[in-house]
Amino acid sequence: MYYFAFFKNIDVDVGPYCISNIMRKFGCPREDAEDILIDSIINFRDKILAGKVTYLSSIRNYIYTTCVNMKKERDYYAKRQKEKEGEVILYLYSDNEETKSYQEELLQISMQAFRQLSDSCQQILRYFYIYKLSMEQIADELEYSSANTAKVTKARCYKKWLEFVNKDERL
């Protein structure tokens, strides 16, 4: 019960400061700033329970810095995700007045390259790009130890897929 009251006080004391500064600094909606604040407080709680926090001069600065880092990380991964999706879409469906047969050939090359991947790589790419599962969901489905492990595996599989596509002599 003590922990609940402690973290509720943190939310009340630090919350408005963090939310308003995150909104101002990054121009994000209030809901996103609130989600980041909650994630930061949970992160802080987890570190306290794990014994990783021994001394802090300012809880407010710690929480705010964690919020800023989380927002930057989310923006970075969102940007990378959009770039990768754009690459695949542009690669398969370029609008440079290419003929329908050329687009079909690109699709065939991509599918042949995809079939060269291991079953586990095919599965993780399907889950991510076709079924739009999150890294956490993919980690659960494929029994990875964490979402980060799934993320690294997906990145390696995607890179391998592009290598197979680029090796095709028809390009």
The predicted-structure confidence for 65-105, as pLDDT tens digits, reads as follows 999 999 999 888 888 776 666 566 555 555 555 556 777 78
Q: How confident is the model at residue 160 (pLDDT cuts 50, 70, 90)?
A: very high
Q: How confident is the model at residue 164 (pLDDT cuts 50, 70, 90)?
A: confident
The total domain count for the chain is: 2
- Mean pLDDT over 7-29 rounds to 85
Structure tokens at 146: 């964490």
What confidence score (pLDDT) does residue 92 get? 54
Say if 52 falls within a structural domain.
yes
1 pLDDT exceeds 60? Answer: no
Quickly list DSSP for 20-69: HHHHHHH---HHHHHHHHHHHHHHHHHHHHTT-----S-HHHHHHHHHHH
| Residue 59 CB neighbours (<10 A) | 15
Clarify whether residues 49 and 6 are in a common domain.
Answer: yes
Residue-wise pLDDT for 23-37, tens only, equals: 999 999 999 999 999
- Rounded Cα distance, 72 and 96, in Å: 35
pLDDT mean across residues, the chain: 83
Residue 98 per-residue DSSP state: -
Query: 């799934």: which residue's tokens?
Result: 150
| Residue 10 CB neighbours (<10 A) | 20
Structure tokens at 154: 């997906």
- pTM value is 0.47
Residue-wise pLDDT for 110-130, tens only, equals: 889 999 999 999 999 999 988
Which range of residues forms the domain containing residue 152? 93-167
- Rounded Cα distance, 154 and 160, in Å: 10
Clarify whether residues 68 and 101 are in a common domain.
Answer: no
- Rounded Cα distance, 12 and 17, in Å: 10
Boundary (domain end) residue, out of 28, 50, 77: 77
- Rounded Cα distance, 23 and 20, in Å: 5
Look up the CATH number of the domain holding residue 159: 1.10.10.10
Structure tokens at 25: 């600094």
Structure tokens at 36: 């980041």
